[in-house]
Chain A
């Protein structure tokens, strides 16, 4: 097998020797080709070769008959041939076990025959073979073999010669290179010496040196100071790399910083070189990797050391592997490194020297050297552009200025300074004659800043002085030696000194002496000043009183600058006004404080969360809690203001006064009055509230007591009313008898003398009656109990009545008396006809009374009208005695007549006008009196009436005739015998059939026995009174016989009550015959008419809308609405009452009645008035269920009638 091919024992030696011949891969050589040719020729073979056996191949140095230049060693025949001195001969390769499978045999060139002789060098090592080859099997002749051996020796000889030749050549080259290198180093050294910029020199030198040494690159690094991360770092300063076509170009980056390993650094520091090889893997650092990355396989690195310190290093490198640096290279590079070191050192020294030289000219301010004539020798950059120098207001050019300087300097005065301005800057110029007196150095310094600062200082001082001078406080400034520095005008003024009494520089002690007398206590003043100065501390706001009453405030301020005492300042201010104001304020405050304290006003201050911040003593007293117990607590809780009321009493807002029941600490119920206002701080932010609390428990109690008193007063008024009612009854009853008796007496046959007496008695008793009536009226008015009726009436009728009544009196005095009424005046009004008549009669009566001759006239006119009301003016004019203006004022006062004689002459109580006035006021009317003494009086009465339905006006009392009374049966119930007699007499005179009863019970007996047309019933009677009797007649006997109350009680409320019990009318005692008869007539007529009258007519009397119309002020839509409401809702209320009655729920009856009462009242359903009152105030003790039921039935039927009538009403 070819793999088992033998390898010579000394193979490595052999290969080493082969390299020394330097023959592999060289070009063919003529001499060797000739030998090959000869061998081919001798051996008669087509192929002859000189084969050199290398480690892995056989290479053909010369070849005949073969194209390829080499084959693999493993298929070579040579490898066998070199194994012995004789070589190898293969006659037929196919038959040789070693070669029969060889590709050179099996394929081209189809070797069959091979013969090779080794090429043996003098050391006995075989470099290869000289061989011949044929493609047919054969053998060599011995001659041929011998010739081949000789030829192989020839080849070897050639090899030897060639080797020798090459060695010579190489030595020559090395010499040349050395020379070049020497040349380069000398040039480099020159360059380094001559070029002041060592870096540029190095830059220039590196290529020179590199190309001379035949290396690929060279570089200079500077070792920099320690880098924190990388340690000592080196920075590349210069580099060079060879430019060659065959070789790769090493490219250095421009700026590289590398770190060196400790070992390499150590080496360099010890002046040792570093020889870096690719194979050398012992040390890895930035430099090694950097170079490796550039494929610089061999490097030599030399230190550059300056002054014993490692400054940097120079490196040289080649791409060749394992380059051995020759001695000459080493010495060359070392010398270059030294040169560089020198150059660097020199450059540093040179730079220093240069810097030193340039130092003085680097002054930023102008520096100029001139000769003694002022000619410029030298000037630095800032001095280049000097022009227009201003000196003492004059402008110079630079040269003019320099010559000026030169003139002014003399050897005696070799130095001088000027202050100049140049381009708005200030300079200090110093010129100095040089040592040798040959030139002048001029130095200018910019002092603008100082100058400006100085100016500012002066300005600020001036300003300060001005301020102090004009200050509204007296200022005195002293230095540390107690000398006055500054004193202002105000100081002089304050102490009444002439303007320059104190001058700067004066000793302060003098000043003190000058002014101390002004003070109230000069001695104390001086002592205090000494003390203050001694203490040497700021002393502010001290108040001093002056002898003239003024008050000064004094400040003492020591002036300390940089911890050194530099004097002090006294400041005096006149605070007399302020003091006064403060005192005022204090007094004021004390006043208010004492007011608040004395008012017992509690004060609470709370924050925004209603937490109490403070409370005053009064509040503690009010609440019973101590201040400590209060502070910090919630005010709402304390005041018992619960969450739901928080909105209504917001302590935080401004709220009106609130009254609160609060429990104090002792648990007592107190009433507090609260008021509060928000509290704000100086910034206007709300900080809480201030609450003022006043304990009003006592007031509250008083209030309640007052109410009770009011109640009592009402009761007492009632009692008074009762008293008057009784009184009038008691007086009227006998009076009634007297009048009746006298009246009866007058009808008897009397003598003239007797007639006169009776006339006087009649007049006196009438007067007494009117007096009683007037007193009763006044007392009612005073009690506020005089109530006016509001019922339909005819004013025309009232006037007619008044006319009828007053006519006889007028006729008696032969006065012209007439009454006229305007047609425009409405036939019916709503009002109180009785009272109107009373007023008219009073006024007309007065007019007649005070008129002796002439006329009395009454005029009724319409002043204003609208659909529902009329304003009417009644004028009563007379031609009587008139009144004084002075008296007019008192006209309406009680018990006054113009003079006592008047009273005597005309009589009268003096109450008439007063009652008239009060009545007119009650009617909302006005009365105006115009009078002139001696020529008469004119009284104008203006009244406002609501227009009423004409149909509702009751028939006139005076209208009927007495005829119709004939034969009517009357029951007269009266306990007083005299009264009974008077009444009976009167009635009988008019042909009435009178039955008498003395009390109610008796009356009922009579009623049961006999049928009557009319009953006259006294109210106050023994056994059974009139009211009870009426009730029985109405409810038990079910009689509808008209009942007329006979009463001495003129109170309307009482009368109405009687009417409510079922009475139909009343006549007051003592009765006037006329009134009694007309009432009887009215009753009889009315009752008779009821049967015949239509339903409608009856209904029209059931209600009256005029009250409602009055409320509406003419709004008929409202009236309609209210009437509709009444129609819809009233009956259901009645149903409720009925229901309640069945359930005996009396409370409900009361309530519902109370509810519907206003409606019934406003619709003028007067017939129900008593029932309503009874139901509303229903009391089981006062009414029986039957009575109650009747009242309810009446209520129901009446209301039903009213409602059906209302349905027909057109509104």
Chain B
């Protein structure tokens, strides 16, 4: 079995309270490899550390969420980006998906539950990929 608790997760939010809240939630789900960022710029600099998942807020002070999403996807299209959106902005959420985001979460008070669901989905996808991947590449 693949242990998904090692998945590296970045959280980007310029609100420290939200950062703490989301981090606590993700920790409680059993993931421990979590880094938090208060700006998109700092996040982009750390992308070389190959996060599996980036939880990105649409409204961060230093950069438009779509721009950050674009940059992340450019650097590594394999990263799962999850965008936090204003409530009921389906139009923006759809756009985010078109630009390669894995999913969107509306800030409607149900974020924590939604985070749990999305991480579970990603974990399942990873699981499938893991079993599809050739196990032994060693040459004899």
Contact = CB atoms under 8 A, between A and B. Distances in A.
Contacts of A805: none
Given A711-B94, A1111-B25, A1121-B20, A1156 B129 contact: no
Interface string A1185-1210: 00000000000000000000000000
A1112 B28 CA distance: 8
Contacts of B14: 1155
Contacts of B1: none
A1162 B87 contact: no
Nearest to B91: A711
Interface stretch (A301-309, A381-389, A629-637, A656-664): A656-664
Interface string B2-22: 000000000001111110110
Contacts of B21: 1111, 1122, 1158-1159, 1162
Interface centre among B18, B74, B88, B140 (most CB of A within 10 A): B18
B77 A648 contact: yes
B41 interface: no
A1177 interface: yes
Given A648-B78, A1125-B20, A654 B15 contact: no
A443 to B, nearest CB: 66
A707 interface: yes
Contacts of B86: 1150, 1154, 1176-1177
Nearest to B50: A648
Nearest to B19: A1125
B63 to A, nearest CB: 12
B16 A1129 contact: yes
A680 interface: yes
B133 A1158 contact: no
B137 interface: yes
A1158 B25 CA distance: 13
Given A711-B94, A1154-B86, A1177-B86, A660 B77 contact: yes
Contact of A1154 (B78, B94, B107): B107
Nearest to A714: B90
A1161 B109 contact: yes
A182 interface: no
B57 to A, nearest CB: 8
Contacts of A703: 97
A1151 interface: yes
Contacts of A649: 77
Interface string A1002-1024: 00000000000000000000000
Contacts of B100: 659
Contact of B18 (A677, A708, A711, A1158): A1158
Q: How large is the interface on B (under 10, 10 to 19, 20 to 34, 35 or more residues)?
A: 35 or more
Contact of A654 (B16, B18, B133): B133
Contacts of A645: 74-76
A1162 B111 CA distance: 11
Interface in B85-140: 86-88, 90-91, 94, 97-98, 100, 107, 109, 111-112, 129, 133-134, 137, 139-140
Contacts of B76: 645, 648
Contacts of A648: 75-78
B32 to A, nearest CB: 15
A640 B134 CA distance: 27
A1195 to B, nearest CB: 15
A1130 to B, nearest CB: 8
B35 interface: no
A644 interface: yes
Nearest to B109: A1161
Given A708-B94, A1176-B86, A1151 B77 contact: no
Contact of A1157 (B88, B97, B107): B107
A699 to B, nearest CB: 13
Nearest to A649: B77
Contact of A1159 (B17, B58, B77): B17
B87 A1177 contact: yes
A626 to B, nearest CB: 28
Interface centre among B17, B24, B59, B98 (most CB of A within 10 A): B17
A660 B78 CA distance: 11
A1126 B18 CA distance: 10
B42 interface: no
Interface in B17-69: 17-18, 20-21, 24-25, 28, 57-59, 61
B17 A1129 contact: yes
B131 to A, nearest CB: 13
Given A684-B139, A707-B94, A1155-B59, A1125 B17 contact: yes
A707 B98 contact: yes
Contacts of A656: 78, 129, 133
Nearest to B22: A1158
Contacts of B18: 1155, 1158-1159
B133 A1118 contact: no
A1129 B13 CA distance: 14
Nearest to A715: B90
Contact of B90 (A644, A711, A1157, A1173): A711
Given A644-B75, A648-B76, A1151 B59 contact: yes
A1122 B77 contact: no
Interface in A1124-1155: 1125-1126, 1129-1130, 1133, 1150-1151, 1154-1155
Nearest to B89: A1177
A680 B140 CA distance: 11
A704 interface: yes
Contacts of A85: none
A1113 interface: yes
Contact of B137 (A654, A1125, A1176): A654
Contacts of B20: 1118, 1121-1122, 1125
Contacts of B90: 710-711, 714
Contacts of B112: 1111
A603 B21 CA distance: 47
Nearest to B97: A707
A1107 to B, nearest CB: 9
Contacts of A1126: 17
B94 A658 contact: no
Interface string A684-697: 10000000000000
B16 A1125 contact: yes
A680 B91 CA distance: 48
A711 B78 CA distance: 26
Nearest to B95: A707
A1122 B58 CA distance: 22
Most buried by B among A648, A684, A708, A1125: A648
A648 B77 CA distance: 8
A1158 B78 contact: no
Contact of A1155 (B15, B91, B129): B15
Nearest to A1121: B20
Nearest to B85: A1154
B14 to A, nearest CB: 6
Contacts of B75: 644-645, 648
B129 A1158 contact: no
B122 to A, nearest CB: 13
Contacts of B88: 1177
Nearest to A1155: B15
Contacts of A1151: 59, 61
Which of A1118, A1126, A1157: most chain B Cβ within 10 A? A1157
Nearest to A790: B109
25 contacts: A644-B74, A645-B74, A648-B75, A648-B77, A648-B78, A658-B78, A659-B100, A660-B77, A680-B139, A684-B139, A704-B94, A710-B90, A710-B94, A714-B90, A1111-B112, A1115-B24, A1122-B17, A1125-B16, A1125-B17, A1150-B86, A1159-B17, A1159-B18, A1161-B109, A1177-B86, A1177-B88
Given A710-B90, A1155-B57, A1158-B111, 8 more contacts: A644-B74, A648-B77, A703-B97, A707-B94, A1122-B17, A1154-B59, A1158-B17, A1158-B21
Counting from the closest, the 5 A-B pairs by CB-CB distance are A1159-B17, A684-B139, A648-B76, A1151-B59, A1155-B15
